[in-house]
């Protein structure tokens, strides 16, 4: 009985070995199939073969392994570790030539942008391998080679009144917009009907004292917040000057707009608040009074008038005016660099000492308008090359821009050909207007 059992067990073991000769490792087959799907496998004439024996999971046996080759020997691969990807083999695709790698990608865009101008020199953008100095030198050489346009006969211009670009700066809530709005109303630049409309709308919104400020604060956000955010621009005339008025924001968050307006200014009015505690806040405790004064002098403004505003809140106190003047005089002359700053007491809300001199008080000097009329206009350099400092850009279409700026020298007229620096972009002037 036992012999029969042993014979049957031996037969079963032989059959098990024969069945296991076709066993394969699933991970090895999958890895080989993945390799076949890659570029290296497709480019090869036949599926890759590693000629490695298949890994079997059968139980050990004492019977000798058959010598027959497994049928799937070409699909076997070495066992790979888990989460390990096969190494990438370089493909036989054609490589990009080295000359194409150094070509700037924006050359085509530059050509398209300059296609609207017939005489525009074709200059490619500098790549990372090109020296920037050499590139700029090449651009300037192209400008020098460009054909020059003969200067036209200058048109007759009004010379009876000189032009002054005047900017009004100061700490936030110093009353700059209210002061200048009341001045424009007294000069009849803004009619009384408009002021009455602003008073009614401001009172309805709970800001009755902001009626004159709305003359220059035109946007809804500025009127809602009660803070000037952008440069307010208007113009008026005195007896001897044409004034372009720039109302700068006083909040430190909009200091960039203040710098933009100051770069165009020839003279400035620094407005300070005479209310108890307000002057100290703007001058000593990190306010904008000092910063605005330093920026004015740094950007080339030498003519300065200090308007001590809101003196009606301190009952036109002479001691308060002298205290503010003494503190500011030391700072403006010794630190900021102004030679002779002038001080004038005013009240923007009541309109005192703006156009007409105040009567019956301790001050008997000029009014604010008289100081504005005494500003000296800079010498116009109309014979020099055209230089315009651009302060604002409005893109109308793809090839049309509206720029705003101050002409430092030269003259500009319609159909003039100019260059926008530092990109050396050629442009044609389609029209111009002046404040």
Mark whether 296 and 427 lie in a shared domain: no
Work out the pLDDT band at 32, boundaries 50, 70, 90: low
Nearest alpha carbon to residue 307 among 367, 250, 357: 367
Is it the case that residue 44 has pLDDT exceeding 90? Answer: no
Tokens representing residue 319 in the block:
């001691």
- Is 320 inside a domain boundary? yes
Distance between CA atoms of residues 426 and 119, nearest Å: 8
Greater confidence (63 vs 213) lies with 213
Any idea which residue has 């074709």 for tokens? 122
Nearest alpha carbon to residue 172 among 278, 285, 321, 298: 278
Mark whether 392 and 346 lie in a shared domain: no
- Is 96 inside a domain boundary? no
Distance between CA atoms of residues 369 and 236, nearest Å: 11
- Is 100 inside a domain boundary? no
What is the per-residue pLDDT for 56? 46
How large is the angle between the packed helices 288-298 and 255-262, nearest 10 degrees? Answer: 30
H or E segment and range at residue 318: helix 318-331
- Which residue, of 344, 373, 402, is where some domain finishes? 373
Mean pLDDT of 415-428: 80
The beta-strand segments (E) located in 228-348 are 232-237, 241-247, 267-273, 303-309, 342-345
What is the per-residue pLDDT for 11? 55
Mark whether 304 and 178 lie in a shared domain: yes
**Which tens digit of pLDDT belongs to each residue from 265-306?**
899 999 999 999 889 888 887 788 999 999 999 988 999 999
Is it the case that residue 227 has pLDDT exceeding 90? Answer: no
Is it the case that residue 352 has pLDDT exceeding 80? Answer: yes
Tokens representing residue 52 in the block:
């490695």
Share above pLDDT 70 across residues of the chain, in percent, rounded to a whole number: 65
Is it the case that residue 92 has pLDDT exceeding 70? Answer: no
Does residue 200 contact residue 192 with C-beta atoms inside 8 Å?
Answer: no
Mark whether 219 and 269 lie in a shared domain: yes
Work out the pLDDT band at 252, boundaries 50, 70, 90: confident
Looking up residue 306, the CATH number of its domain turns out to be 3.40.50.300
- Is 232 inside a domain boundary? yes
Work out the pLDDT band at 55, boundaries 50, 70, 90: very low
- Which residue, of 373, 394, 421, is where some domain finishes? 373
Distance between CA atoms of residues 297 and 288, nearest Å: 14
- Number of helices (H) and strands (E), helices first, in the chain? 14, 10
Is it the case that residue 60 has pLDDT exceeding 70? Answer: no
What is the per-residue pLDDT for 353? 92
What is the per-residue pLDDT for 284? 81
What is the per-residue pLDDT for 296? 93
- Is 389 inside a domain boundary? yes
Strand bridging mode 162-170 / 425-428: unpaired
Does residue 184 contact residue 190 with C-beta atoms inside 8 Å?
Answer: yes
Is it the case that residue 118 has pLDDT exceeding 70? Answer: no
CA dihedral 136, 138, 140, 144 (to 10 degrees): 180
> Of the ranges 8-22, 110-124, 392-406, which is most confident?
392-406
Mark whether 186 and 294 lie in a shared domain: yes
Greater confidence (247 vs 67) lies with 247
Q: What is the mean pLDDT of the chain?
A: 74
Mark whether 172 and 233 lie in a shared domain: yes
Tokens representing residue 159 in the block:
């010379």
- Is 236 inside a domain boundary? yes
Looking up residue 402, the CATH number of its domain turns out to be 2.40.30
Mark whether 367 and 411 lie in a shared domain: no
Which 3 state secondary structure label does DSSP give 118? coil
Answer whether 0.75 is exceeded by the pTM: no
For residue 409, what are the CA distances in angstroms to 378, 387, 433?
11, 5, 16
Mark whether 34 and 126 lie in a shared domain: no
For CA atoms 293, 299, 304, 310, the dihedral sign is: negative
Tokens representing residue 101 in the block:
């790698």
**Which tens digit of pLDDT belongs to each residue from 358-391?**
887 899 889 999 999 999 988 877 777 788 888 7
Domain range enclosing 140: 106-154+382-435
153 alpha carbon, distance to own chain's centre: 39
Mean pLDDT of 92-121: 40
Does residue 347 contact residue 308 with C-beta atoms inside 8 Å?
Answer: no
- Is 94 inside a domain boundary? no
Work out the pLDDT band at 122, boundaries 50, 70, 90: very low
Distance between CA atoms of residues 385 and 203, nearest Å: 52
Is it the case that residue 201 has pLDDT exceeding 70? Answer: yes
Mark whether 10 and 115 lie in a shared domain: no
Q: How many other CB atoms are found less than 10 A from the CB of residue 389? A: 11
Distance between CA atoms of residues 435 and 428, nearest Å: 21
Mark whether 135 and 229 lie in a shared domain: no
CA dihedral 234, 236, 242, 244 (to 10 degrees): -20
Domains contained in the chain, number: 3
Mark whether 221 and 351 lie in a shared domain: yes
- Which residue, of 75, 96, 127, is where some domain finishes? 75
What is the per-residue pLDDT for 86? 55
CA angle 24, 27, 33 (to 5 degrees): 90
Strand bridging mode 425-428 / 417-420: antiparallel
Which 3 state secondary structure label does DSSP give 170? strand
- Is 67 inside a domain boundary? yes
What is the per-residue pLDDT for 209? 85
Mark whether 250 and 355 lie in a shared domain: yes
């Amino acid at each position: 009985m036992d012999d029969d059992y042993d014979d049957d067990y031996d037969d079963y073991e032989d059959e098990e070995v024969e069945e296991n000769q076709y066993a394969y490792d699933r991970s090895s087959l999958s890895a080989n199939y993945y390799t076949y799907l890659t570029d290296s496998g497709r480019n090869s004439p036949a599926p890759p073969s590693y000629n490695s024996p298949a890994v079997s999971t059968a139980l050990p046996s004492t019977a000798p392994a058959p010598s027959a080759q497994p049928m799937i020997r070409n699909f076997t691969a070495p066992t790979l570790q888990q989460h390990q990807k096969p190494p990438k083999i370089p493909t036989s695709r054609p490589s990009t030539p080295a000359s194409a790698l150094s070509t700037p990608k924006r050359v085509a865009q530059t050509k398209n942008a300059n296609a609207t101008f017939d005489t525009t020199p074709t200059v490619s953008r500098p790549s990372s391998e090109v020296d920037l100095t050499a590139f700029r030198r090449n651009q300037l050489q192209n400008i020098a080679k460009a054909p020059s346009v003969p200067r036209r006969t200058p048109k007759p211009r009004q010379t009876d009144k000189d032009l002054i670009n005047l900017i009004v700066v100061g700490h936030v809530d110093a009353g700059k917009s209210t002061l200048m709005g009341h001045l424009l109303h007294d000069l009849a630049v803004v009619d009384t009907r408009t002021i009455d409309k602003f008073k009614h709308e401001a009172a309805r919104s709970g800001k009755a004292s902001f009626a004159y400020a709305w003359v220059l604060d035109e946007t809804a956000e500025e009127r809602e917040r009660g803070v000037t955010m952008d440069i307010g621009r208007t113009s008026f005339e005195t007896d001897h000057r044409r004034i372009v008025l720039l109302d700068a924001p006083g909040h430190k968050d909009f200091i960039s707009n203040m710098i933009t307006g100051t770069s165009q200014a020839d003279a400035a009015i620094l407005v300070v608040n005479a209310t108890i505690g307000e002057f100290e806040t703007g001058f000593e405790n990190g306010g904008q009074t000092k910063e605005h004064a330093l920026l004015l002098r740094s950007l080339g403004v030498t003519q300065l008038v200090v308007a001590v505003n809101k003196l009606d809140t301190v009952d036109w106190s002479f001691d308060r005016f002298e205290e503010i003047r003494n503190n500011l005089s030391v700072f403006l002359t010794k630190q900021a660099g102004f030679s002779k700053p002038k001080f004038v007491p005013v009240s923007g809300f009541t309109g005192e000492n703006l156009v007409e001199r105040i009567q019956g008080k301790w001050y008997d000097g000029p009014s604010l308008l008289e100081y504005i009329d005494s500003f000296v206009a800079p010498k116009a350099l109309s014979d020099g090359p055209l230089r315009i400092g651009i302060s604002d850009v409005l893109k109308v279409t793809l090839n049309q821009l509206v720029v705003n700026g101050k002409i430092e020298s030269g003259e500009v007229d319609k159909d003039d050909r100019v260059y926008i620096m530092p990109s050396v972009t050629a442009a044609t002037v389609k029209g111009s207007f002046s404040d």
